[in-house]
Structure formats: structure tokens, C-alpha cells
Structure 1
Amino acid sequence: MLNPGEDRLDYGNILKPPKSYTLDFAVGTTYSLDLDALVGMCISLGLLEEADSNIMKDPICLLEALRRTGDKVALFCEAGEIYLPGKVSALYTLLEKMVFQVVTKARSGIKYPSFHPKFWLLRYINKEEVLYRVVVLSRNLTFDRSWDICFYMDGEFGEETDKNIPIADFLKYLLKQLPKLEISKAKKIKQLIKELDYVNFETGMKEFYDFEFIPSGVPCSQGGMYSMLDTSLIKGANDRLEKSFHELLVMSPFLSKDIIRQFNERSRWIENAEYMLVTRQMSIDNLSPEDCDKFRIYVLKDEIVDGEAAISDGESDYYKQDIHAKIYMLRKNADTEVYLGSLNASHNAVYGNIEFMILLRSKNRYINLEKLKTEIFNGDEEGANNPFKEVELLKCREEKNIEESEELDFLIKQVNRYKFYAVVTENASYYDVNISVENYEKQDADITISPIFAQSKEAKFAKNILFEKLTINALSKFYVLSICDIVGNNVKRVIKIETEGMPNEREGKVISSIIGENFYRYIEFLFGDDHIISTLKANSEKTQGIAGKSYSTIENMPVLYEKMLKKAATEPESFTEIEKIIRLLPEDGVVPEAFKKLYSTFRKVVK
């Protein structure tokens, strides 16, 4: 269960279409986002390959992965939680159409709740069938090495069902986060909502006889809001239901005193009730013994937290890691409930955040605390393979002050609740970008902003911000927001600003800059045939193009022509993609004249 050496799940493989299927559309959510991690997901979704180092370093592979998935993915994340990559790539331009930021509204006295769900709904297709996959995780779309949990299951069309109403309501909430101009993606999400009435998901596991989706914090179409307070797991202050249990497991990296205390004070009338808490060492520092005196508390051993050797690329680096999984198990008599997903055992998570959980119902004979202990400890608690150690709270602890990083996070949330809008205008052969910030208020911090592809053009954050004389390749909807507080702590985040007036040829220019002199290699990639490029390389290039580029003539490309004829008979859709590329690329010599003539002749022959 939590043995990285044996039970590791690859995020990309979970999302990758099954054999004989391709991705039709996917909706994903994450709290924090690493843009390079999203590129890796696109390799799995678009190329059906693992995002290993060789592919991640190949710009042609990356380009095609992003091009194939750009219109098929809608990824929602917390505004202000896109990490700034160490090395910025022009390919990020193609991610703009996938990424959408969510700003939550104040709720239950919490000023800045978080958009915190980790969820995917994917629609796969082949020539005859449609297959759905739902994925519920605790993992963000980043390269964090912490230990997470994932549950997914597939579904096919069948009888009408109400099991998926919570997913449909969650998608309706996400629909409202889309910009008004995202008409095509809104249409696809509406299609998912409509079809979910007839999608029958199956756990495929004898241990779970039933399941329930819980998009906590989202409006329910049947009235009210989805809330963990409506489950057997969480007991609110005014909850009259007993909600007792015989066994309880809480695995959560982050905790709040009030949530742990309400667990601790329940089941007082049940003899020998067992309580187990698995968390991070730092998270128990705010707890007092009376908050959790019924729990046995476990944290990862120091040698596990301090580092795990990288498992790919032959690297010898070590990475810090800790628990990030959110697992809750509650057993009463013969009935067991297991909750998995994004929800921490914290006040904000329960009362304010947008979260996504799945409830799996089971029986004591299949799942109970003793069985889960064996899984968590990788055998016996005293065994050598147990990565956890038991800890005790020996004295009362004082409440900690808000950490500096939390103060910066608070500033990020404040700034991202402003309404941004950008307008691009031509300035001779360059472009100017004017950013307007509605409801702007000056903060007690040093805040700057810059285009992600022109970070040297940094400007003070203000109600109106002007960037002058940007090249077309420097234009982006992504900007770098830098915040430095009064004591010198600094954080940088990427934000996306909806923009009017982007030149139509911008995407073509980006693709052109990536393809460069590798046009034939790109065509080879589209055909999926290694023999083409090797043949082209073997033939001497007779014709020189502009800037010293060498192009093959029609006479030197009989193999390519033959392959195109075969593709026309077996996979005519390949040429739809090629035509899209040719139309998109600017007239700057990237598409060789020899290929244009060949392709023109070819189209006449196959018509």
C-alpha cells in the first residue's frame, strides 16, 4: 500500500488511454501545478508513452504531445499555485489553452478557502466504443516525492444511474470557472455531464461493494452543498448524531486541533475503540495530549523523510519526502467505510475548501484496522520493513505563530483575487501589453510582475501595467508574480491572465521555432515510421534552402511518397494533422518547397 519499491503507481500510466483507445477529452484538477509535470501528462495522454527523460528532452516529441492534447484537456488549479520552472520553454505557450485558475469565495468564516481537489475524469474512444475513467488522488500535478494515494475505476455506458450526480455537479462548478470564450471546452464538459447519467463505474474489487463521490464545498443540484459533515466521518459541533465507531484510522499530512479533537472525543461509550493517526512530525507540534490521547500516533522514520534515491535516469540524487496521502477508515460493527482523496484533517479542509473524496464501503472481514496496519507497516509493526515509528506527546505545546511561508501564501491569495485583464496592441514590428488590475489595493510588500518569456522586463505591480516592445515569441498569457514581504522573504508564482488581441500567428511562430530544420523529422514522427528519416538522411541533400537549410528534392523522396500513399489508405486522419500544421506554420521557410510540391502532387493523386 505504501511501499514505493513495490506499490508505486505512475501518474501518467493511470491517465494513459487503454490499449486500442485514444483520448477524447479529459478534465483534471490540482491544487498546485508544475508546468513540466503537465507536459509529462500530455505525453501519456497524447503519445501513449511514459514521460521518461529521453522524450522530455526531445522538443519534437513534446511539441506533438502538446499539440495533440491542447484541445482535449481542461486542467483547473488554485490561482497563484503554478510553480515557476527553473528553465522556461517556448512550449508553455501551448499549455495556455489547457490551464484554468480557480479563485474560491469566502465560506464559513474562512476568508480564502483553497481549491484543493485532485481529480480526473477522462473520456476515451475507439472506433466502436466509449470508455470513461474516474481518478481520485491525494497527489498534486507536481514532481513532489511525497507518498500519496490514488483510486481509479473505469465505466461504460449502461442503465441510467444517479451515482454520478456528484461528479456532474462538480463539473458544473468547474464550468463556471471557464472564461466565456472557451466555448469548445465548455461544450465538451457539458457532453460529459449529460453522458454521466448512463456511465456505470465498477470498482472491480470484491473488497468494496459500494462507492460514493463527495465533491465537498460544491453546490448540490438537489439542494444545499456537498459536505464531509454529512458523512459518518466528520462530526460537527451541532451534529446530534452519535457517529461512533469501533476503529478509526486517520492518515493526513496536515492537522487542526479542532478536527483531531472531535475524532478523539467520539466513541466514548464504546469500550476498547482503537484510534490510529499517521501524519507528519511537524503537524503534531500544535497538538496537546488532551487533543489526541486516544490515538496511537505514527510518523515516517527520519531516514525515510531525509531522502529516497531517484528511481529513474540513473541519478544518485536524494529527495526529501513525507506523507501526503489522505486516508480515513472508520469501522463500526461489521461495516467499514474508507475515504480517499484530497481532504486533510484540518479546519479549512472540512469547512472551507473545495475538495474531492471518494467513499468506499466494505465489510470488516475485508478491511479493518489490523489489516490496514499490516499494509501500512509492510508487515509487522516491529519488522525491519516498517517505514513508520510511533511517537508520543509528552507535554502541552504552545500554539505556533503563523509561519513566514504562510504569510506569503496569504499575500498570494490576496493578489490573485484581483481581476486581471490584458490587451495586446501592435507597435511597429513589436507588441505592447497593457494589464489592468480591477479592485487593486496596495499591499505592504514589494510585488513585481513580468511576462514569463521576458522576465527581464519586470514591472512594479500596480493598477495599470505596461510592457512595451515585446517580440511575438515573448507574448504569453503566463506571467511571473514575485512577492517579497517586509522582512525579505520572497516567493515567485506563475499566473495566467486572460488576454485580448493576441496575434493569430503567435502559435505558428512558436511551433516554427521548435521545428526549425527538423521538418522532415517531424513528418516522420507524425507517420510513426523511423525508416523515413533514416532514408532521408541517407540521401544526399541537393537543394539548399534559405539560411543554409538543406532540403530534399522530390526526386530524392520516393520512400516518403510511398509511405504517404500507404498512410492515405490505412490512416487518412494522419493527413488532417499534417494539413493543420502546414496551415499553422508561417511562410518562413520551415516547410521545405520540395515537400510542398510533393504534397500538392500527392493530394491530386489520392483525391
Structure 2
Amino acid sequence: MVGKPGASQPLQPVLLPGTTPMKRWGQISKTLEELKQVRFETNDPHYSDFSFHPLGIPGHTKQPSELFDTYKDLLVISPFLSKGMVERFKKLALSDSTRTLITRRTEIAKLSQEMLEAFDVYGLKEMVVEGEEGLSGDDLNDEAYQNQDIHAKFYARSKYSQHSFFIGSANCSESAFSGNVEFLLQLRYRKHGFKIQHLLDDLFGKDDKDNPFELIKELPEVDTPDTTASDLLEKAIKQLCRTRSKARVIKEGQQYRVKIEFAKIPEEVDLTIASITGIQPVKLEPVTILPLLPLEQLSEFYQVTACKEETAVRRIIKIKTTGIPEERDKAVFRSIIRDRDTFMKYVAFLLSDSLLLSSLEQMDAERLGKGKWNVSWLQAPVLYENMLKTVAREPERLKEIERVIKLIDDQEIIPEDFNELYQIFSQAAKKVKR
């Protein structure tokens, strides 16, 4: 059956150009226009209607109302759980309802005994989880051997004659429905006499030996690993990454300060932050000002160090930063490519058939004392040959050379002979594209 007009509208925010690298905006915009003309079909008369539910996207932060409405029968399949979300589904049950939860055995420990009694909770049988090794007893090596487990996220609910299925990426957890970017497809199902039990019969098979799942009646014992200082520091940095943050660049003379703000700072460890170079770290506060930085050290990436007693963990984190000058990229290139030799090495690197091989060759040349090139290298056949191959096979790769030339824009670094040669090949590349 054809979906209602506008049924594809919730798909469009997922493809917004603002969430995509600039070079793909044109393709995404074209797809958006085409999407407006699309009408999806289920091609099954039993599926009376459907809806798309993006989650965690601006304008689509609400949870699917039908999923969190009262129900008579419920089936949830989810590899990961949170106790709060399972409790929420428990409270939505009408009297004399059936509630079935299928999840990984490792997640069942998150539930209480009361929840275990309120739901029919199933996990994969251990011999199924252990896969082929468990069945055959063969001594398979780690490359060939892989455990089996639940990956699907599926919700089925019934309320008298109303039936809905939800399929997508959202686990049965608070994070999935109140923070993460997820997507669910809702299918409304109509068939006389249908019950959720029919789905369970198909899943479980006709008798127990065919059933890959087993009913869990008691909470499993969990071995709580000893928490090390490093674990505590890692956890603190992860908490910091989840906290709302922002940074702003402020110019002072020829240098810059960065003002960093965090909504909340973990208190159980000592935290410092610095630019990506790690130079001059300062104590992390709700509002932190970094010492003066040169233009080339500005970035959205920062080095955070968490310390407790004698243990320290360093990580690079990303903070949305405003006010970075447009000429910053140019400054970075100029700090790396400072002379003609370095520039020519970089060009050779870009034109190489194998970037890895090119890197190794240059390292070997420097080790043997042959890393310095003079201007006569420009006339070497190898440069001409590599540029010729690039024009014939991948002319778009010349754009990277053009970008570097524009960023450096210095005749002392970019030889005039090379510039003339590049212009010739650039014109040839345009003809190849036609």
C-alpha cells in the first residue's frame, strides 16, 4: 500500500546539507529534492500504514508516541538495555498483559528480580552464543572463530486490534531515546486474529530443541572486575566528552587565546587541558582560558590529561570552536612546508601511485643522505611521468596540488618552473574530463 502523502518528510532532516561535508552539499540537496517526490510502498495489504521516526535530530526530538502508549502485549528484542527504559515499558502494561524481552545474557544483570518476574526474559542459549566451536568442539583459531549474539532492535506491540512493529537502530535504553541519533521505521499491521504470540512461535520453533533461546528465571551472577586507576581516568574523560561544551578563539595582538566552557567537570580526578600540541596545559575549570597560542596551533582538537595519584591518561578530544581565522590552514601549511625541498617532496607524495611506498622511499632517501633535492630535479623525467599518469588516470588529484599552491602562495617555496609545468597539466586535465 502506498504511504500517505508527505510520509517521506521525516527522512529529509537526516539528509540535511548542514550535517554533511561542504563538498557533498550538491549531491545531498539533489537527493532531498528527489526524496520529496518519492512515495514508498509496502506491497503487502496487511501493512496498512507506516511512519519514519528520526530520533535525536533538531525538530525530531520527540519519541514515537505509539511505542510508549499503553499496550496489551509487547515484544522487545534489543542487544543492549537500560534498567530505566525496561521499567518504563513495564509501567505501560495493561492488566493481564504479556511482556517478552529478548536480549543478550550479559545485559540481564542490569535488571532487578522484580523485572525478571514482570517480563518473560530470554537470552540465546550458550551453545548458540558459542557458535560452531560449541557445537563441534573443534579447536578453531581466533580468526575463524566468532561468537554469535543478538544484534537486531525490534519492538512489537498490540492493543486489541491495533498492532505496530518498530524496526531500526534504537536499543531499549535511555541513551537511544533521549540523546543518540537513531532511526526507527514503524509498520502498522492489520490481520484478523493476529497475536504477538505468533511472532514468538516463529522465533522459538515448535519444540525446545529447535528454540535458540532459553527463558531466564534468575539473575545471573556477575563477576565485578576490579576498577583500576586507569579505568577511573578513562571514565572521567568519557564523561567529559558527553558534557555540553564549546570554545571561542579571541585574538590578542598577533596571537590568540581560547576560552573553553564545560557545563560540568568530573570531580573525582584532576583534569588539565591544552591545545593539541599539549604545550602549557592548564587546570580544567567550567570556564578555562588557554595561554596565548600562535595561529597554526588553533584547532577544534585539544589534549586532555586526567590524573589521580601517580596515574595519568591523555586523550585528544574535539570541542566545537568558533572564531578560528580562515587563514589558519595557510599558517599550518607554511609551518610544515617551509622550503622548496619540502614542497617538492610533498608533490611527489601526492602524485605517487602508493602513498605508503612514497613515504618509505622518502624516509630511505633521507636515511642515505639523499633527502635534499635541488631545482634541477624539476626537469627529472619522474616528475613529468607521474604528472602525466595523474592527468590520464585521476585528474581530480591535481586539485590537491592546486590547493597547496594557493595556501602557500610564495615564489620562494614554489619554483616558477614547477608552476608553469603545473598549469600545462592542469589545462590538459580539463580536456580529459570533457
- Looking at structure 1, the residues matched to 24 and 214 of structure 2 have their Cα atoms a distance apart, in angstroms, of 48
Q: The residue matched to 2:328 in structure 1 has which SS?
A: coil
Aligned to 1:163: 7
Percent identical across equivalent pairs? 20
SS of the residue 1:500 aligns to? coil
Amino acid at match of 1:166: P
Q: CA deviation at 1:504?
A: 4.0
Q: CA deviation at 1:596?
A: 3.6
1:553 equivalenced with 2:392 (yes/no): no
* Mapped pair 1:447 → 2:283: no
Alpha-carbon offset, residue 363 of structure 1? 7.1
Bigger helix share: 2
557 and 487 in structure 1: CA distance in 2 versus 1, 3 angstrom threshold? closer
Which of the two has higher C-alpha Rg? 2
Length, aligned pairs only: 390
Amino acid in structure 2 at the alignment position of 1:251: S
Contact 1:339/1:358 (<8 A) preserved: yes
Change (3 A) 1:168 1:450: same
**Counterpart in 2 of 1:459?**
282
The aligned residue for residue 244 of structure 1 is 72
Instruction: Tell me the residue number matched to 1:369.
Output: 200
Q: 1:581 to 1:227 in 2, by over 3 A?
A: same
Question: Kindly tell me: are residues 491 and 319 of structure 1, through their superposed partners in 2, closer, same or farther at Cα, counting changes over 3 Å?
Answer: farther
Provide the rounded CA distance (Å) in 2 between the counterparts of 1:381 and 1:581: 67
TM-aligned CA deviation for residue 555 of structure 1: 5.5
- The aligned residue for residue 478 of structure 1 is 301
CA distance in 1 between counterparts of 2:207 and 2:337 reads 58
In structure 2, relative to structure 1, the CA distance for the partners of 1:286 and 1:369 (3 Å cut) is closer
State the alpha-carbon separation in 2 of the partners of residues 298 and 189 from structure 1.
41
Which residues of 2 match residues 287-306 of structure 1 at below 5 A?
287-290=112-115, 292-298=117-123, 301=126
Aligned to 2:227: none
| Partner of residue 234, structure 1 | 68
CA contact (8 A) 1:249 1:369 kept: no
Q: Hey, what does 1:500 align to over in structure 2?
A: 324
The answer (yes or no) to whether the contact 2:123–2:214 under 8 Å persists in 1 is yes
Structure 1 pair 169/591, CA: closer, same or farther in 2 (3 Å)?
Answer: same
CA change 1:215–1:381 in 2 (3 A) is: farther
The CA deviation string for residues 375-412 of structure 1, in whole angstroms up to 9 with x for no partner, is xxxx986469x5x6543226999xxxxx9699837952
Name the SS of the counterpart of 1:328 in structure 2.
strand
Alpha-carbon displacement from aligned partner over 1:58-85 (angstroms, at most 9, x marks no partner): xxxxxxxxxxxxxxxxxxxxxxxxxxxx
Alignment of 1:238-277 (within 5 A): 242-245=70-73, 248-257=75-84, 259-260=86-87, 262-263=89-90, 266=93, 268-269=95-96, 273=98, 275-277=100-102
Residue aligning to 1:393: 218
Q: CA distance change for structure 1 residues 275 and 558 in 2, over 3 Å: closer, same or farther?
A: closer
Q: Quick one: distance in 2 between partners of 1:336 and 1:201?
A: 20
TM-score, length-scaled by structure 1: 0.48
Unpaired runs of 5+ residues, structure 2, are 134-140, 223-230, 363-368
Q: Is the 8 A contact 2:75 2:101 kept in 1?
A: yes
Q: Secondary structure at the match of 1:434?
A: strand
The alpha-carbon deviation at position 494 of structure 1 amounts to 0.7
Which residues in structure 2 correspond to 1:166-565 (within 5 Å)? 166-169=10-13, 196-200=35-39, 211-216=50-55, 226-228=62-64, 230-231=65-66, 233-235=67-69, 242-245=70-73, 248-257=75-84, 259-260=86-87, 262-263=89-90, 266=93, 268-269=95-96, 273=98, 275-290=100-115, 292-298=117-123, 301=126, 325-330=152-157, 337-347=164-174, 349-350=176-177, 355-361=182-188, 368-373=199-204, 382=209, 386=212, 390-393=215-218, 408=236, 412=240, 416-423=243-250, 432-437=255-260, 444=267, 445-452=269-276, 454-462=277-285, 463-468=287-292, 472=296, 474-483=297-306, 492=315, 494-498=317-321, 499-501=323-325, 503-506=328-331, 508-509=333-334, 517=345, 519-520=347-348, 522-525=350-353, 547-548=372-373, 551=377, 553=379, 559=385, 563=389
Change beyond 3 A, Cα 1:219–1:389: same
Q: How much has 1:357 moved relative to structure 2?
A: 2.0
Q: Using the alignment, how far apart are the partners of 1:421 and 1:459 within structure 2?
A: 16
- Letter of the 2:278 partner, please give it: Q
Change (3 A) 1:584 1:203: farther
> CA offset at residue 450 of structure 1?
2.1
Alignment RMSD (CA, Å): 5.8
CA distance change for structure 1 residues 352 and 359 in 2, over 3 Å: closer, same or farther?
same
Query: What TM-score comes out, normalization by structure 2 length?
Result: 0.62
CA deviations over 1:12-38 (Å, ceiling 9, x no partner): xxxxxxxxxxxxxxxxxxxxxxxxxxx
- 8 A contact 2:46–2:190 mirrored in 1: yes
